Amino acid sequence: MGRPRKPRTIAKLPPSDLYKPEGIDLHRMQGTVLPIDGFEALRLADAEGLAHDLAAKKMSVSRATFSRILNHARHVVAKALTNGWAIRIDE
């Protein structure tokens, strides 16, 4: 059994919890889930331009954990964009 997951600090919730390509009905489209901590990591690193060590402190996680969260979030978003999938942001 692994260690319990440490709570992550999320400073800003997304304005919407679903993003999808325009012109395609949601019920005909495949989707993927972006965890809320991944959204926050993207916001801090890419939108705010913070260094990983500072962003990790803001999320109350280690730098290595922040980097893993960010890499997973970037993978999810890249797959969705390149395949025309919807992205649902969820806890």
Torsion of CA 44, 22, 18, 68, to 10 degrees: -40
Q: Of all helices (H) and strands (E), which one includes residue 29?
A: none
CA 41/CA 83 separation, integer angstroms: 22
Coil, strand, or helix at residue 6? coil
pLDDT digits (tens, 9 = 90+) for 48-76: 999 999 999 999 999 999 999 999 999 99
For the whole model, what pTM was predicted? 0.89
Percent of the chain with pLDDT over 70: 100
Of 27-31, 32-36, 43-47, 84-88, the range with the lowest mean pLDDT is 27-31
